Amino acid sequence: VGSLPAKARNRLLKARFLQDVGQWKKARGELDGLLETFRQMNSKPAMIDTLGLQGKDATHRGQYRTALEHYQDALELAQSTGSPQKLAKVQLSSCEVSARAGGTQALESCKRALQTFDKLGMPLLRARTNSAIGRNLYKQNALSEARKYFIDALRIRDEEVHPELVDDRARARDLGNLCQIEMREEITGAFHRCKETLDLLDQASFEHPRMRATSHYAAGVAAAREGHIEESLAHLDDALEGYEGLESFDAPSVTSAYLRRGSLLKRTDRPEKATETFQKGLERLEQAEGDHLASIIKLRIQYAQQQLDLDQWQGAAQQLQTLAREAREVGDIGTRAWAYSTLARARNRLDGRGEASARQALEKALPLARDAGDDELVETIESNLEAFDEEDSGDTASEKVEEQ
């Protein structure tokens, strides 16, 4: 049958095993009431281990505050045991949860754990701690500092951890974070870093659709900066395909990819392809469930501007009228002003519309531009209206409306 202490420890071991194999519900059953049992036995090490598993369970369910509470209780017990190993491991767990939750309170605890693992000569835990600190700093947008910790984590895994203990998935996460940081910070070599991330995801057979999609996007952005235009377009296409495979539609990311792709095609003298890209992105967002009006507006601005550049006046006028309405819905006065002032230019180019229609658009734009505080646009609109008020000097109406 076994004694109570033996039964309790067996349940603890079973709970740990069940968590490791993903049987979270069964593990939860083994943990039920176990903390109180160990408290009655006055077994602090077992209480620390139990709280740690409860923290892991809460983290798995996304209950980060509850997880941190468990780790805080474990931390207080670990401090009373005088075991630096126990203390540092609890600090690491708290640090990793805080990094996931985007909290800042555990950063100092992370750094203390790092110092302890360094003194104890535990490279694998040092690497994990560096990664956790990096993620924590990344959440705080301290990109330069975060980059240092991710680089150190990779160095430790490559140089100090036994090859059989290296977790390629952990390396992929560190590389993926570095890929994003170096893309955002415009660091030379970001394209290579992102390709390295994608290669490792393939080698490790690591199914992480979001990391794969965002790494393709970052690779596309970095490749364009480094002059690899066709590779950039290919990665942006892969990013868009990846975003479509996510469980929930990520409108901001999809919008950014279409905008990047369209702008790159425009910059490399492929205006028709650029127009198709902006149009396709706009249609995708309009078909998606949910409210994505802010993203739609960003794409519609570029689509309308591209139509103007190609002298597609009728299409541009239709897009600009829609844009003005959408901007009103979201309270974007500046975009409404730009839409109406640019609509005047399109209308002026359309047969049979003439000055009256263009003037009407400008008169709508002027007070909006003033409210938006856009002095440059106000000056341009006033100049165009004055041109209509002048006596006919032989200019055509289309010459009277300046380009915005």
Interval 282-325: pLDDT, tens: 999 999 989 999 999 999 999 999 999 999 999 999 999 999 99
Interval 171-213: pLDDT, tens: 999 999 999 999 999 999 999 999 999 999 988 777 889 999 9
pLDDT, mean over the chain: 90
Interval 370-402: pLDDT, tens: 999 999 999 999 999 988 777 445 554 444 565
Looking at residue 394, its amino acid is: G
What's the CA gap between 226 and 345, in Å, rounded? 37
The DSSP line for 2-48 is: --HHHHHHHHHHHHHHHHHTT-HHHHHHHHTTHHHHHHHHT-HHHHH
The whole-model pTM stands at: 0.82
Dihedral (CA of 323, 328, 329, 333) sign: positive
Dihedral (CA of 374, 376, 377, 379) sign: positive
Average pLDDT estimate for 341-347: 93
The region, left, alpha or beta by phi > 0 then psi within -120 to 50, assigned to residue 69 is alpha
